[in-house]
Amino acid sequence: MPQQDTAVSVGFIYPDHAAEHDYPYAEKLLGGAARLPVEHIYGTDLHAVPELLDLGSPARLSEGAAQLAGHSPAAVVWACTSGSFVYGWDGAHDQVEHLSRAAGGLPASSTSFAFVRAAEALGVRTVAVAASYPDDVADLFVDFLGRGGVEVVGMSSADIVTAAEVGRLSPDDVVELIVSRDRREADALLVPDTAMRTLALIDILEQRLGKPVLTANQVTVWEGLRLAGVTPGVPGLGTLFRRKGT
């Protein structure tokens, strides 16, 4: 008889298409500790407040939760930073509560909360932000972090209008965008766009900067695993994943 797959499943709702290949990359590094299925919802990929509010709406997240049901996940995460923090701290809590209900009561979270909890797990209090968004959207992320007790000592935005453009950045462009926006006084550097391909670059970035680097898809995977009770130490995904049990 074939051996039954007993790995825990953590489901991710991902908007459109850009950097979703980060999730099978992380699954491979996990070495069988978990499955990370991704289902997509679709909307306009503009980094603009009205479009982001629509993208993270209850109807769209319910659609994503329904698609994930076939994977029997132990937890679900809305893998979109801007489509969660754009609702504000309280609204993002309501968004996650709705997602949990839509997923049949499963533990649920979003990338924005993943950043706050990852910073807390590492004891990070001050951060620099290397955002790909326009300024007005990036400022909302700064406000969100502040509500979570994370002080932003430097924020730079690349003013990239769509997620698709972010997804097409080369690895060299991604590294340069991130490294050039560090602040010496920051405990860590945060990179908030799940459309940016970063997982294969985190160790390189941390070696260049000499501090933790928290990227959107990295913290999203970590948060989903945390909710599912899986906390493995994993090489290749930065300081956050080397701290087993966080």
Each residue of 153-176: pLDDT tens digit? 988 776 676 666 776 777 888 888
Confidence of residue 3 (pLDDT cuts 50, 70, 90): very low
Which pLDDT score is estimated for 1? 40
Torsion sign across C-alpha atoms 95, 98, 102, 105: positive
Tens of pLDDT, residues 20-48 = 999 999 999 999 899 999 999 988 766 78
Which of 6-10, 176-180, 181-185, 201-205 has the weakest average pLDDT? 176-180
pLDDT by residue (tens digit) across 171-187? 888 888 888 888 999 99
**Could you tell me if 177 and 151 are in contact, meaning their C-beta atoms sit under 8 angstroms apart?**
no
Provide the token pair at 41: 């919802």
8-114+218-237 and 118-215 share one CATH topology? Answer: yes
Q: Which residue, among 32, 9, 11, has the nearest Cα to 220 in the 3D structure? A: 11
- Whether 12 and 77 have beta carbons less than 8 Å apart is answered as yes
Q: What is the pLDDT of residue 28?
A: 95
Task: Return the biggest CA–CA distance within the chain.
Answer: 57
The total number of residues shown for the chain amounts to: 246
- Report the CATH number of the 118-215 domain: 3.40.50.12500
- What is the percent of the chain where pLDDT is above 70? 92
Residue 56 one-letter amino acid: G
Domain residue limits, the chain: 8-114+218-237, 118-215
Amino acid 163: pLDDT: 61
Residue 192, token pair as written in the block: 């908030």
Residue 115 to residue 220: CA distance in whole angstroms: 8
Domain with residues 8-114+218-237, CATH architecture: 3-Layer(aba) Sandwich (3.40)
CA distance 134 to 188: 21
Total-model pTM: 0.93
The pLDDT, as a whole number, for residue 162 is: 65
Task: Give the separation between CA 149 and CA 153, rounded to whole angstroms.
Answer: 13
pLDDT at 201: 94
What pLDDT digit, counting tens, does each position of 78-102 carry? 999 999 999 999 999 999 999 999 9
Q: Which of 70-84, 149-163, 228-242 is least confident?
A: 149-163
Q: Give the pLDDT of residue 170.
A: 78
Q: Looking at residues 110-130, what average pLDDT do you find?
A: 96
